[in-house]
Amino acid sequence: MRHTGPRAGLSSGPGAQDENRENPLAKQASTKVEPALPIAISATHARALSAHFKTVEEYLRVVESWLDGYEGVFYGSRAELSAPQRARIRTLITEIITGLQRTKSDLALEPLEGSSLGIIRAYLSELWVSLVETRGRYLRGYGEVPPELAAYLDRRVDELESRVNEIRRLTEEAAAAGAGKAEGEGSAPSGRGPR
């Protein structure tokens, strides 16, 4: 006869029955038994998994890029981890990336392909706004700007902005050329990454 209720287990209280049941996932994790591959995965699950794993990979790449610190012109960060800690983190990141690659292969997940031009153009737009807001007339909200400082900043910003505009022009040309190729070759994606 099977007993139910709080007296059935060794302990009582909320969740006591759950605690006393055998947990197959915990057992599996402790014995390192390889889980069976699913026979099929839905398209919506595949997209969701790819999106989540993409975020994991992106964040790992950012973590990796900051391990040694960074010294820029207007921002930076010193390396705060010891060399052995950084080496271990790099090893762990490599293992995680390898695990992501295995999962992608095992589940036949497709990578989420974005437009590098789209990303570049978005960053250039944000960059342009920040650059323009360093002109003298935009600094008035922080107090009266001396005319010499305004003239100096406007001159420097003009020089920098001309180079940013050149980058924007090149990306626009590439986008237009890519759109022309897509129209001429059909709109089906190649499924290949960068070469």
* pTM of this structure: 0.62
Q: Looking at per-residue confidence, does 195 or 93 come out higher?
A: 93
Structure tokens at 85: 């800690």
72-125 confidence digits (pLDDT tens): 999 999 999 999 999 999 999 999 999 999 999 999 999 988 888 988 999 999
Q: Where are the domains of the chain?
A: 41-113, 116-182
pLDDT in tens, 163-194: 999 999 999 999 898 876 655 444 333 333 33
Could you tell me if 168 and 121 are in contact, meaning their C-beta atoms sit under 8 angstroms apart? Answer: yes
